[in-house]
Every structure is written in C-alpha cells, then in structure tokens.
Amino acid sequence: MSSPVGHTLAGMAAVIIIKKQWPLGCMDWIWIIFFSNLPDIDFILAYAADVERHTFTHSIGFIAFILMIIMTIINVKPELGRKVPNRIQYFIVFPVVLITLHILLDMLAVDESFPYGVQLFWPLSDEFFISPFAILPPTWTNYTLKKMIIENSKTLFFEILIFVPIVIAAKGFAARSMRKKGRESA
Ligand SMILES: [Zn+2]
C-alpha cells in the first residue's frame, strides 16, 4: 500500500487533468485529500474492531456504497447539492476516480502483510488481487517505531520522486489547455 502522501499526490494529478485547471480551488483540495485516502479508514477499523485491512474499503462495492451515501445526502439536503458547481464532477467523477486510483496504487505497491493485495471485487468475490509486479514501495506498519520511521521515510522519498513529476506534468497539461481556451475565447 502507498502512504497518504503518495495517494494525495496521485489524486492531485488526476483532478488537475480532469479539471484542466491550475491552481485548484479550496473544494478541490478537500475532495482530493478526503477521497484519495478514504479507503484507508480501514486502518481505524483494524485497530478499533480488529478488522483485516484492504478488504471491503478497497473494492468496487465500497465505491458503490460511497456513491449511495452521496446520493442520499443530496436527496435529504437538496440545497447542499445546489451550492456545488459542476455537480457531476464533484458528486460522481471525483469520488469514483480518486477511490479507484487509491485501490490501483495499493495494488501496484509492495504489500508486506498477508493476505497480499486488495479485495477488489467485494462483495462479488472475497479473493485478494495484487499486481504481479510491484512498482511502488510499501508503507510499514507492524514494526518497531525506529524501523517504521526509517522505512517509511524511504517510502516517502520514492513516492515524492515518482509522483511530483507526474503532478508537474499534469500542471503543464492544465496550463496548456487553459492557454488554448483563452486563445479560443479571445
Ligand atoms: Zn489503501
């Protein structure tokens, strides 16, 4: 699994590309940080209720569940929905893309604890899936504090090395699109 920093940087790149916009607004940042890291609430569940990690919160079932919650909130409080610009993006596209991206990154990262991977197709299947080749470093959780600090610092370093150039490329893409749009409307 990747760290919150890796997930947030990847989410940032995705939102910049979808919106073709830089800088992003306050609401974008809240969405990016929240939905890019939402599947890892199982971290809290694992401690509180001894639930295994990377199960239902890293699955297509969880994405459907979150969409259902969002739709229920909008139904109960329609005035909340009306305040949001570009509702399809904020209520459907960003949650789906950011959670899916989180799950894919976890599948591409080294998993240091069994069962390896994520329960991608829960509730249709309980099987765990992981990429046959790991390109991202793991986040270490079940070790001594010293080992966790050393190993997770290495992970952070690699994630920054991988994702910051992707974010910079996304910003370049957004800047080009905005310039093109500016020329077209001029
Ligand atoms: Zn995760």
Report the range of poorest mean pLDDT among 44-58, 68-82, 85-99: 44-58
* Predicted pLDDT of residue 63: 98
Q: Residue ranges of the domains in the chain?
A: 4-185
Q: pLDDT at residue 64 above 90?
A: yes
Q: List, in order, residues 6 or more apart from 102 with CB less than 8 Å away.
A: 7, 10, 11, 35, 36, 37, 38, 39, 40, 58
Ligand 1 midpoint to CA 103 (Å) = 6
Long-range CB contacts for residues 63-72, cutoff 8 Å, separation at least 24: 63/95, 63/96, 63/99, 63/100, 66/38, 66/95, 66/99, 67/92, 67/95, 67/96, 70/95
How close is the Cα of 98 to the center of ligand 1, in Å? 12
Ligand 1 midpoint to CA 32 (Å): 14
pLDDT-derived band at 55 (thresholds 50, 70, 90) equals confident
pLDDT of residue 9: 98
Q: What is the mean pLDDT of residues 119-137?
A: 92
SS3 109: strand
HSE, CB side, 13 Å, CA atoms: give it for residue 167: 17
Q: How far is the CA of 152 from the centre of ligand 1 (A)?
A: 15
Cα 102 to ligand 1 centroid, rounded to whole Å: 6
